[in-house]
Copies of this chain bind each other. A is one copy, B any other.
Amino acid sequence: MSKYWSNLVRRLQPYTPGEQPRRSDITKLNTNENPFAPSPSVMAAIQAQLTDDLRLYPPPEADQLKNTIADYFSLRPEQVFLGNGSDEVLAHVFNGLLRKDLPLLFPDITYSFYPVFCQLYDIQFEKIPLTSDLCIDVKDYHRGNGAIIFPNPNAPTGDLLALDAIKALLQSNVDSVVVIDEAYIDFGGVSAVSLINDYPNLLVVQTMSKSRSLAGMRIGYALGSSELIEGLDRVKNSFNSYPLGHLQIAAGIAAFEDKAYFQQTCNQVIQSRTSLTGSLEEIGFEVLPSKGNFVFVRHQHYEAAIVAKKLRDKGIFVRHFDQERIREFLRISVGTEDQHQQLLDTLKNLINQHLMK
């Protein structure tokens, strides 16, 4: 602790992201990156933007990307908010829309950045326990609140909430902002975007890091009523006028325009998830039903922390959360067929050689 820090810094407990080792010899199934490369047209678009104009500030509102995203979702540009990755978008959402007198509600098992944002912005919150099978029951959110947020599908469980349940939640919370964090929605879920024009209190947050294979470019966005977006713009314009550079804007536009590639790679991830699920079940794992690009699994015999460590020793990274209720689970990202084979072969070896202890 330094005397130069503000009181805020003294009490912060920062978020810990999954490891990002830069070695090429590892099998990286720990941070839910897409196994497929970005669309070739994204590469071409960045290439075309590599000009002397990089000396110039980007358009502060990134209008062209906003227009592209608005068109894609049949919304108006003033219903789109952009940020430097969906974590930045979420940060502004917490500060601008979720900081209320009554507590914010979110699940007890969820994206672990939420309580960190609450610390950063001094937001009271209540964690609502998932059901015994680790699902969200919207009836549990029928209580006094300043706002509500959860991922759909939820992380790290992969559980998808149906649109009817979200509609019910919106109807019973007309005075609260309800944020659906759809980082993983494109892998088999149904987006709440279609409800935006009916519910001015609904904000949908998405990212280009997962289904659009652009984690390395940092592009996130939020979709909602123009009044919610205006609130976010006021926060953004009090923080950083230009969160997205020229290359990010170009990449984002191209990614949305290549619908065929997007559809094809999402479908392949979904198929791979199904086959990975089956293979893991065959060797004694319970696999929760997942609509994300990951599976959340536990083995009937082996401790998750030990499995994670043994895999890591073999160069395979998966994610273990040392946290109540999910300590027995591992989150494994859907990878390539090769990566799955390595994972499964290694697991089988460890099991056969009785090395899981």
Q: What is A's interface to B at a CB cutoff of 8 Å?
A: 2-9, 12-17, 20, 22, 28, 31, 33-38, 42-43, 46-47, 50, 52-60, 84-85, 87-88, 91, 95-100, 116-117, 119-120, 175, 177, 200-201, 209, 213-218, 227-228, 230-231, 233-248, 251
Sample of 14 further A-B pairs with CB below 8 A, known A37-B54, A217-B247, A247-B247: A2-B227, A5-B227, A6-B96, A12-B235, A14-B233, A14-B236, A15-B241, A42-B54, A46-B50, A55-B213, A84-B84, A120-B235, A215-B242, A216-B245
A333 shortest CB reach to chain B, Å: 11
**A86: nearest chain-B partner, CB-CB:** B240
Q: Which of B16, B60, B119, B239 contacts A88 (CB 8 A)?
A: B239
6 tightest Cβ-Cβ pairs between the two chains A and B: A14-B237, A37-B52, A6-B99, A2-B227, A54-B216, A55-B213
A11 shortest CB reach to chain B, Å: 10
Q: Are A238 and B55 in contact (CB under 8 A)?
A: no
Bound Cα distance A43, B50 (Å) = 7
With A15-B238, A55-B213, A213-B55 known as contacts, the answer to whether A6 contacts B95 (CB < 8 A) is yes
Q: Which of B58, B201, B248 contacts A4 (CB 8 A)?
A: B201
Bound Cα distance A52, B58 (Å) = 25
Bound Cα distance A43, B53 (Å) = 11
Q: Which of B42, B43, B55, B60 contacts A33 (CB 8 A)?
A: B55
Majority SS of interface residues in chain A?
Answer: loop
Bound Cα distance A35, B56 (Å) = 9
**A147: nearest chain-B partner, CB-CB:** B4
Q: Are B213 and A177 in contact (CB under 8 A)?
A: no
Neighbouring B residues of A99 by C-beta, 8 Å: 6-8
Q: Are B58 and A216 in contact (CB under 8 A)?
A: yes
Q: Are A245 and B217 in contact (CB under 8 A)?
A: yes
Bound Cα distance A280, B124 (Å) = 57
Bound Cα distance A16, B241 (Å) = 8
A356 shortest CB reach to chain B, Å: 29
